[in-house]
Amino acid sequence: MTGTGEEMEFMRPATWADALAAKAEHPGALPIQGGTDVMVEINFDVRRPEALLDLNRVAELTEWDTSGGRLRVGAGVPYARLIRELGDRLPGLAQAARTVGSPQIRNRGSVGGNLGAASPAGDSHPPLLAGDAVVEAESAARGVRMIPAAEFYLGVKRSALEPDELIRAFWSAPASGPQYFSKIGTRNAMVIAVCSFALALHPEERRVGTGVGSAAPTPRRAPAAEAFASAELDWEGRGPLPDAASRRFGELVADAAAPIDDVRGTAGYRRHALAVMARRTLAWAWNDHRAATPERRAS
């Protein structure tokens, strides 16, 4: 990378309002938070945005809080802090965060950046989908817009975000049951997912949430698998999970994918791996749920 002198503006808003104003004025500006995706593209000359919009000075993006019993996590909270500070409340997302890159990458990368890039292989997406997360986007002109994760991903590296919008935060209820994330890669660090899968049990609603990663043009849920498992699990008696049911769940998850053959793996391998990960994560989560002492209900 050399200083080529090509025209590119660098904007450094100090406040969220200034950031929204800058994005409204320069819709082509590329937001940069941790830089772990954006700088790779710039270093390799893959992308020359008209401007970089540095969000590092907007302090509230790296804060999180709770509101109405739900977590609101700033888009720029780095993975390392998400793991440390929210790992107990968002265990599925924290598991996924632990598989992102390396310690150096986790110190900079964030869920907001993952959402902004909207790569089908992004590690945050499956747990966000399984946990019913909602993306808080905002523009100077139209204010806040809440976008459910399931409606956020539109295509390969395309999202529902409008050119004048920035991602402020994501919202998620703290886990009400066991959550798991599983990912296939060639190494235990520094890998882009060959495919990945997230599962969340929502025992109060007697419902199973899923998220499939890197096995379709977008991250996506597996609705038929969710409906099957939600109906099949013995929520009342906490009975064991029949092998046939977990296998069927795996098949339904694999059916929900639309993978391709690429450098990281074949479509057939991805379908197979998804079925295995789905079967295993459902068993892990259900066994955790069974082992957990049921809260004594008032009724």
Partner 1 sequence: MRVTITVNGSAETVDDVWEGESLLYALRERMGLPGSKNACEQGECGSCTVYLDGVPVCSCLVAVGQAQGRDVRTVEGLTEGPPGDAGEARLDPVQQAFVDAGAVQCGFCTPGLIVASHDLVERNPEPSDAEIREALAGNLCRCTGYEKILDAVRLAAARKRTAGGKAVRS
**Among positions 104, 186, 266, 287, the unique one binding partner 1 when judged by CB under 8 A:** 104
Q: Output 8 or 140, the one with its CB closest to partner 1.
A: 8
Q: Output 48 or 158, the one with its CB closest to partner 1.
A: 48
**Among positions 5, 69, 237, 294, the unique one binding partner 1 when judged by CB under 8 A:** 5
Taking the complex as a whole, how short is the minimal distance between the CB of residue 68 and partner 1, in angstroms?
Answer: 32
Taking the complex as a whole, how short is the minimal distance between the CB of residue 196 and partner 1, in angstroms?
Answer: 18
Applying CB under 8 A, does 117 fall inside the site for partner 1? Answer: no
Taking the complex as a whole, how short is the minimal distance between the CB of residue 15 and partner 1, in angstroms?
Answer: 16
Please report, as residue ranges, which positions from 31 to 60 form the binding site for partner 1 (by CB under 8 A).
32, 34-36, 38-40, 42-44, 48, 51-52, 54, 56
Residue pair 90/131 in contact by the 8 Å Cβ criterion: yes
Find the helix packing angle between 267-291 and 243-256, rounded to 10°: 140
Adjacency order of strands within the sheet including 30-32: 9-11, 51-54, 30-32
Residue pair 75/33 in contact by the 8 Å Cβ criterion: yes
Q: How many residues bind partner 1 (CB under 8 A)?
A: 36
Q: How buried is residue 20: exposed, middle or buried, by Cβ count under 10 Å (0-12/13-18/19+)? A: buried
Applying CB under 8 A, does 63 fall inside the site for partner 1? Answer: no
CA distance 284 to 117: 31
Residue pair 1/153 in contact by the 8 Å Cβ criterion: no
Q: Output 52 or 86, the one with its CB closest to partner 1.
A: 52
- Which part of the chain contacts partner 1 (CB under 8 A), choosing from 183-191, 215-223, 239-247, 282-290? 183-191
Residue pair 136/144 in contact by the 8 Å Cβ criterion: yes
CA distance 38 to 113: 9
Applying CB under 8 A, does 6 fall inside the site for partner 1? Answer: yes
Query: Cα torsion at 71, 32, 182, 195 (round to 10°)?
Result: 140
Taking the complex as a whole, how short is the minimal distance between the CB of residue 190 and partner 1, in angstroms?
Answer: 6
Phi and psi at residue 194, to the nearest 5°: -70, -45
**For binding to partner 1 (CB under 8 A), which residues are involved?**
1-6, 8-10, 12, 32, 34-36, 38-40, 42-44, 48, 51-52, 54, 56, 80, 101-105, 107-108, 188-190
